[in-house]
Amino acid sequence: MAEVAHRIEAPGRTLTTTFITHAHAAHYLGLESLRSRFPQAKAVALPSVVAEIKATSDAQRKTWREWFEGRALDNTAIPEPLDGDTILIDGHGIRRDHAE
């Protein structure tokens, strides 16, 4: 996650939002690390994705700890349900229904 954070900061960008596209652990286990580096940034996902993360995160975290012998990121952060139907990226609106 340190490399990801460095790539965000290097060109002088400001991370405002992390969009979690789906509930696979590889897509959200690093949220706590990003939040510690970018505390002002929020994490969002479609409401259906948030519900699936809540329902499966304990099992996925356990599986990843076993697969990576305790070295996997152990995230407990849950993204907020996205409100509205558009995500702004560098001032450009992207409709969220394309992510489902």
pLDDT digits (tens, 9 = 90+) for 3-43: 888 888 887 778 888 889 889 888 888 888 888 888 999 99
- Reported in sequence order, the residue ranges of 1-53 that DSSP labels E, i.e. its strands, are 17-20, 42-45
Predicted pLDDT at 97? 63
33 Rama sector, left if φ>0, alpha if ψ -120 to 50, beta otherwise: alpha
Averaged pLDDT for residues 68-91? 79
Question: Per DSSP, which regions of 1-100 are E strands?
Answer: 17-20, 42-45, 80-81, 86-89, 92-95
How many Å apart are CA 100 and CA 2, to the nearest integer?
29
Residue 52 has pLDDT above 90, yes or no: yes
State yes or no: pLDDT of 1 exceeds 80.
Answer: no
Query: Rounded to two decimals, what is the model's pTM?
Result: 0.77
Asked whether residue 100 carries a pLDDT value surpassing 50, the answer given is no
Alpha-carbon distances, residue 35 vs 1, 16, 28, 39 (angstroms): 11, 10, 11, 5
